[in-house]
Chain A
Amino acid sequence: MTMQTTPEHLEYVLRLGDAALIHGQRLSEWCGHAPVLEEDMAMANMALDLIGQARLLLSHAGKLEGQGRDEDALAFLRHEGEYRNPTLCEMPNTDFAHTILKAFLLGSFSLLLWDRLGGSGDLELAAIAAKSLKEARYHAEHTGDWVIRLGDGTEESHRRAQAALDVLWPYTNELFAPNATDDAVSAAGIGPAWSELAADWEAAVLPVLQHATLTVPARTPFQSTGKFGRHSEYMGHLLAHMQHLPRSFPGAKW
């Protein structure tokens, strides 16, 4: 790659890698616990795709950084404030409805992002995006179908889906928050500013939520700040769980 690596470029790729990693980690927590066997497998398979994407992205970030850190060092040996995933990714699973709504909101966003990043001037990132897009399409389809099933399902499933949307919706503000990293990366032709995707994302998400008979909460000024490294109270616990093994047994191999 001939492109000069800027701090913004690295930051942008870390956001993508960390979003896939942390979202994948949360989905993997369902393994052995999902309400039905088929969903247990679906959650595990989506987690596997996401962690695969995270491996590619964090390997790429390690090369851009040029400090000799590989995917494992970046995934397991950073401190909380160094992770750049949006807060939405780290929100707890709570119940099946929360997980499905979260995976749908994030999955619909990823679909648009990977589609745009397929044309990135960073050719490695473009290759990862083209590959991830194919996988994200199945995630968005599956979770979108479930949003409709739960929202337009029984009284209990509707209540839980609405509760999940009410909790999670404010965290989607962060996805589209303008910032200097996005501006620099967009100007350099590496990728879109995430704020550019807001209208397409709403156009994809709102009809599904409506079909699901869910009420979309009013927008509030609330801004979570995970992608800037300031995380929720849930992140430390997630990291403790995720990092325990590689920190206890450095260099361990399966």
Chain B
Amino acid sequence: MLTEAQAWQALDAVEDPEIPVVSVTELGIVREVVAEGDGLRVVVTPTYSGCPATELIAESIVDALKAAGAGAVTVETRLSPAWSTDWIAEGAREKLRAYGIVPPQTAAPGGAQVVRFMSRTLACPRCGSMRTTRLSEFGSTACKSLYRCEDCREPFEYFKPI
């Protein structure tokens, strides 16, 4: 038996498989934990529709809760409201930066608006220089774009607001 509070604590230790410095709770993808009889039901929301980490995250959640002493664990996916980078916990933003990923800075855009050749001024997470250039809208995963610092010459990633 595991209480809901204990379950949340156990979930705080479940890492995002692609960005292992932040937990699934810090990312804001665990929406609810509900005790049901002897077991638990965990409601998660996917980041991107095609995010290949989604299934692995669900398995990691079940494993972590069982290791912490939970009985039956079911993971339910809920789409609405759609996940937003605005849900990433404040503390996780600095963890991302220290890991070399600039956290999403602006509020997620709304509506069917497109900004042409959007230029975002980002500070290099390594040296702090503002002289940075976007190399690619899509980085190693759909949720990030790829930048380069013109001063320290290191590439870095930007977690796109969505």
Q: Which of B1-9, B64-72, B138-146 contacts A (4 or more CB under 8 A)?
A: B138-146
A14 at interface (Cβ–Cβ under 8 A)?
no
A134 at interface (Cβ–Cβ under 8 A)?
yes
Q: In the complex, which residues of chain A have a beta carbon less than 8 angstroms from the beta carbon of B127?
A: none
Are A137's CB and B80's CB within 8 A?
no
Instruction: List residues of B (67-81) whose CB comes within 8 Å of A's CBs.
Output: 79-81
B121 at interface (Cβ–Cβ under 8 A)?
no
Instruction: List residues of A (33-64) whose CB comes within 8 Å of B's CBs.
Output: 38-39, 41-42, 45-53, 55-56
Q: In the complex, which residues of chain A have a beta carbon less than 8 angstroms from the beta carbon of B79?
A: 56, 124, 127-128, 130-131
Complex-state Cα separation, A45 to B138, whole angstroms? 7
B135 at interface (Cβ–Cβ under 8 A)?
yes
Would you give the shortest CB distance from B35 to chain A, in whole angstroms? 25
B20 at interface (Cβ–Cβ under 8 A)?
no
Would you give the shortest CB distance from B76 to chain A, in whole angstroms? 13
Are B112's CB and A49's CB within 8 A?
no
Are A111's CB and B112's CB within 8 A?
yes
Q: In the complex, which residues of chain B have a beta carbon less than 8 angstroms from the beta carbon of A50?
A: 50
Are A141's CB and B111's CB within 8 A?
no
Are B118's CB and A126's CB within 8 A?
no
Q: Output the nearest chain A residue to B135 by Cβ-Cβ distance.
A: A38
Are A42's CB and B80's CB within 8 A?
no
Are B112's CB and A133's CB within 8 A?
yes
Are A135's CB and B49's CB within 8 A?
yes
How many B residues touch A, CB cutoff 8 Å? 33
Are B142's CB and A130's CB within 8 A?
no
Q: Output the nearest chain A residue to B142 by Cβ-Cβ distance.
A: A45
Would you give the shortest CB distance from B137 to chain A, in whole angstroms? 4
A145 at interface (Cβ–Cβ under 8 A)?
yes
Q: In the complex, which residues of chain B have a beta carbon less than 8 angstroms from the beta carbon of A53?
A: 49-50
Would you give the shortest CB distance from B13 to chain A, in whole angstroms? 27
Would you give the shortest CB distance from B124 to chain A, in whole angstroms? 19
Would you give the shortest CB distance from A125 to chain B, in whole angstroms? 10
Q: Per a CB cutoff under 8 Å, which of A39, A41, A133, A204 touches B140?
A: A41
Would you give the shortest CB distance from B90 to chain A, in whole angstroms? 21
Would you give the shortest CB distance from A68 to chain B, in whole angstroms? 20
Q: Output the nearest chain B residue to A36 by Cβ-Cβ distance.
A: B136
Are A130's CB and B136's CB within 8 A?
no
Q: Output the nearest chain B residue to A53 by Cβ-Cβ distance.
A: B49
Are B112's CB and A48's CB within 8 A?
no
- Produce 1/0 per residue, B80-122, CB < 8 A to A: 1111100000000000000000000000110111111110000
Q: In the complex, which residues of chain B have a beta carbon less than 8 angstroms from the beta carbon of A131?
A: 46, 49, 79-80, 82-83
Complex-state Cα separation, A66 to B46, whole angstroms? 25
Are B49's CB and A130's CB within 8 A?
no
Would you give the shortest CB distance from A101 to chain B, in whole angstroms? 16
Contacts A38-B146, A42-B136, A135-B162; is A140 near B50 (CB within 8 Å)? no
B160 at interface (Cβ–Cβ under 8 A)?
yes
A238 at interface (Cβ–Cβ under 8 A)?
no
- 22 contacting pairs across A/B (C-beta < 8 A): A38-B136, A38-B138, A42-B137, A42-B138, A45-B138, A45-B142, A48-B48, A48-B50, A48-B51, A49-B142, A52-B50, A56-B49, A108-B114, A111-B114, A130-B81, A131-B79, A133-B112, A134-B108, A138-B138, A138-B162, A141-B137, A145-B137
Query: A residues touching B (Cβ–Cβ < 8 Å)?
Result: 38-39, 41-42, 45-53, 55-56, 108, 111-112, 114-115, 123-124, 126-128, 130-135, 137-138, 140-142, 144-145, 148, 204, 208, 211
19 more A-B contacts (CB under 8 A) besides A38-B138, A41-B140, A145-B137? Answer: A38-B135, A38-B136, A48-B52, A50-B50, A52-B48, A55-B49, A115-B111, A124-B79, A126-B80, A127-B79, A127-B80, A128-B49, A131-B79, A131-B80, A131-B83, A133-B82, A135-B48, A135-B49, A138-B142
